[in-house]
Amino acid sequence: MNSNAKIGVFICKCGESIEPLIDLNGLKDSIKDHADYCDILSQPCLTPGLGHIMSAISKHNLNRIIVAGCDGRIMLKKFETALEPVDILKGQVDMVNLRSHVAAVSDTSPEQKAIKSAKLIKAAIAEMEALIPTEQERTQLEGPVAIVGNGIGAFPAAQKLIKAGVDCVLSLENTDPEEIIDNLHQSYPGEREHHGRVKQMVKDVLGHEKMTIIENSRLKELIGVTGDYTMVMEESDGTEKSLNASMIIAALDAQLFPPDPEFGYDGQKVLIQPEMEIQINKKGVPKGEVVFWVSDYEYGTPEFAGLSAKSAWLMAQQIKEASPSTQIIIFYNQMMALPLSAFERGVSRKLGISWVPYDKAVRPTVQDGYITFCHLKDHVEHEISWDFLVLSPKRALRGQAQTTAKILGLIHKQTPFLTGHHAKVRPEMIGREETYIVGSARYPCDLQETLNQGRKAGNKNVEMFEKSSQLQLFVPRNVCVVDPEKCVGCGQCQELCDCGGIGVAEYPGGGIPRMVDPMVCTGGGTCAAACPYNALVLQNNSTDQREARIAALSRQLEPGEVVSLACVWGGQPAADHAYRKKLTYDPGIHILGVPCVGQIDPSVMARAFLEGAPGLILIGCDPEECHHSYGIDHTWNRVNMIKKLFSLCGIDRRRIALAHADLNKPEEFVKTANSFTSLIRALGPIEKTQANHDKFKSIYHLCKYNSRIRTLLSVALRRPGEKIYRGDQKYALAFDKDFNQALEEEYDFPESALFEENIPGKGVLYA
């Protein structure tokens, strides 16, 4: 509880959208006793209106602002930016959407709408009172940038960093420039034209006096946060050495490897492109007939056909230049677009390299010395003879690169490469990009692209260092923090969120507190809701705030009215768009916006019922569409636990529900809202007896403080490795039975009497 909160409420007339539909004067009268200041403005969002808010802030010393007007999703940022100079930081401004959620969505009278508006505003006031705002934090970058992973992209990145005067540590398996260039064909076949240039760059970087090179050691463990990393490096003889770094760049290349034997691969006559390059340069230029088969379509990865065709084309030129008598055919699927420019086509004709497309319907068959295919012209099966058959390589993140990526926490959501970010959120919600990844492990690409990525990563790091030295590198305000006093080191949070931002505070060991990298956390908060000991808190957006808001709303609800928690990516925009489409729905639904339903702790759900709400519906995204880390899946488990508890004490399970909404399907949202409110209305109110109150109190305490149940709930949540929505259902019944039994054991009715009046948000903290 923050007694220093001085809250200002500004109600917007919003032209014709709010004023004639809601009795604003009546609304102001019912609010003014609950807030330190309340005013009605014609347009608080325009420059004159912002001026009025600012003068009210300085006159009444306000430090929390609530604007009751329209969509916070697009307007909140303007208020946050405008009010920052007067020390109202992000989190201290909130919006209540009167226009889209109250004014136009039903045909009740302006007075009734004013009552509904007052309920929502009072709930927002309660949340603001519970807010404990944090300082504006900064990250300091001191110490070198470490480049790990052995990819060729490390060198351009290092070059940029040295040039800007940033210290740089480069970990390499091999430090001989000749060998580095010699091995380049393993990841980037055919690109010999660049070798001279790249070799010069490698030499420059390795020979630079400011460069620190670590040879022959592998990354074993990573501890720490942005600005203060400790990397444990294991040398080839098994000794461990630790290394400090402020930032990390991962230079990782995908592995190219031969296909299954069914393509006739033998490594001698039928080989893949990197092997052909060895053949050309080491064993002697092949004579006779060479067929390059761009076989990526047959591997099921047509997206890489262009890349393979380019390598084939480069190698074909090299062969032709060294040995003009060699016959070369580049053999490709008709679906592939030729990767040649008009000029290159001319060169190809001049050199006598033929490009032969084949019918996609008939897969070419490899025989000894021949390959059979269906010709596009006549649909007759033709044959091409070969002395060497060169297949496309298969591409994957494998081996050492994969291990390094895993340690750095770069592997998300089962994508084969490293393009994906674990979250799909606004850029302002993330402090920085994830560890900069350069190389073909990010997504298969050619050498040029890798070098570009390297330069870009180098430059971005330089930018961050500049920001840091100007004290401008801010930490996002809505991120998770761990209370090391409460954390027991169970690791649930680390397993659940695939942000890679949660790690151990020390190494080696097990039962030690976790820590969160605030520059990587996106503030999804399902980790915080999953913590069995409430050790993880989402700062400026905590469970306590959420509880205070839902409690304040629930206390005011009439029978037949329901609380709805709608996420900012699904439910809330769906409701906003219902207004845009001029749809109407049951006014009994009271929408509270949350950044993600995944951050709703089960105790918040229980609190709604404890305070008298007859029904609660959580409206999140569609399955697999969570913008954070499986928030919707985790909510499913939490809602179901409350349902189980309801069954246990004889309350209708249907009073709590989870719904999915797509922001572009407002009609579906209207159906959701109507169906749930009419259900709750049909069920009637929950009788306000002492027995019922005790039941809800027990449920609430069980949800909030019972670490056994919270642990059991957390371990059942979907892990990033699980591919099915709602997690693994393999032992569904067995788990359910066990979980029910545990709930029964822990749901101890008479004991709840011990918790009298110890509910947070009412002034007395639970001891």
Partner 1 sequence: MIKFKINDKEVEARTGWTVLETAKEYGIDIPTLCHHPAVAPTGSCRLCMVELKEGDWSKLVASCIYPVKEGINIYTETPKVHNVRRWILEMLLASCPASEEIRKLAEKHGVVSTRFPIHDPDQNCLICGLCQRVCEEVVGLSAIAVVDRGVHKKVGAPFLRPTDICVACGSCVTICPTGAMQEIFDTVRGKPELPLTQLA
Site for partner 1, rule CB under 8 A: 15, 42-43, 45-49, 51, 71, 73-75, 77-78, 303, 306-307, 337, 339, 419, 424-428, 443, 445, 449, 568-569, 573, 576-577, 580-581, 625, 627, 663-664
CA 296 to centroid of chain Cα atoms: 30
Q: Which is nearer to partner 1, 366 or 621 (CB)?
A: 621
The span from the CA of 588 to the CA of 596, in Å, is 23
3-state secondary structure 183-222: HHHHCCCCCHHHHHHHHHHHHHHHHCCCEEEEECEEEEEE
Residue 282, judged by CB atoms within 10 A of its CB (0-12, 13-18, 19+), counts as exposed
Q: Which is nearer to partner 1, 479 or 703 (CB)?
A: 479
Q: How far is the CB of 291 from partner 1 (least distance, A)?
A: 24
Q: Which is nearer to partner 1, 569 or 609 (CB)?
A: 569
Q: How far is the CB of 349 from partner 1 (least distance, A)?
A: 20
Please report which helix (H) or strand (E) contains residue 555, including its range. Answer: helix 543-556
Spatial CA neighbour of 633 closest among 543, 500, 724, 709:
724
Question: Quick check: 555 and 611 in contact, CB under 8 A?
Answer: yes
Question: Quick check: 6 and 61 in contact, CB under 8 A?
Answer: yes
The span from the CA of 66 to the CA of 116, in Å, is 16
The span from the CA of 398 to the CA of 441, in Å, is 9
Q: Which is nearer to partner 1, 277 or 449 (CB)?
A: 449
Q: How far is the CB of 172 from partner 1 (least distance, A)?
A: 26
Q: How far is the CB of 627 from partner 1 (least distance, A)?
A: 7
Residue type, 707: S
Q: How far is the CB of 49 from partner 1 (least distance, A)?
A: 8
Q: Which is nearer to partner 1, 337 or 754 (CB)?
A: 337
Q: How far is the CB of 520 from partner 1 (least distance, A)?
A: 17
Q: How far is the CB of 439 from partner 1 (least distance, A)?
A: 13
Q: Name 390's bridge partners.
A: 271, 292
DSSP code, position 440: T
Q: How far is the CB of 674 from partner 1 (least distance, A)?
A: 21
Q: How far is the CB of 67 from partner 1 (least distance, A)?
A: 11
Radius of gyration of the chain (CA): 31
Cα separations in angstroms, 3 against 84, 128, 198, 753: 22, 11, 63, 29
The span from the CA of 346 to the CA of 311, in Å, is 18
Q: Which is nearer to partner 1, 95 or 530 (CB)?
A: 95
Please report which helix (H) or strand (E) contains residue 639, including its range. Answer: helix 631-648
Q: Which is nearer to partner 1, 40 or 132 (CB)?
A: 40
Residue 302, judged by CB atoms within 10 A of its CB (0-12, 13-18, 19+), counts as middle
Q: Which is nearer to partner 1, 243 or 307 (CB)?
A: 307
The length of the chain in residues reads: 767
Output the DSSP codes for 105-146: S----HHHHHHHHHHHHHHHHHHHHH--PPP--B----SPEE
Q: Which is nearer to partner 1, 131 or 566 (CB)?
A: 566
Q: How far is the CB of 420 from partner 1 (least distance, A)?
A: 9
Q: Which is nearer to partner 1, 107 or 624 (CB)?
A: 624
Question: Quick check: 297 and 291 in contact, CB under 8 A?
Answer: no
Q: Which is nearer to partner 1, 377 or 581 (CB)?
A: 581
Q: How far is the CB of 664 from partner 1 (least distance, A)?
A: 6
Q: Which is nearer to partner 1, 60 or 424 (CB)?
A: 424
Q: CB neighbours of 246 closer than 8 A, spacing ≥ 6?
A: 141, 142, 143, 144, 145, 226, 227, 228, 229
Question: Quick check: 544 and 550 in contact, CB under 8 A?
Answer: no
Q: Which is nearer to partner 1, 631 or 760 (CB)?
A: 631
The span from the CA of 707 to the CA of 223, in Å, is 27
Q: How far is the CB of 569 from partner 1 (least distance, A)?
A: 7
Q: How far is the CB of 567 from partner 1 (least distance, A)?
A: 11
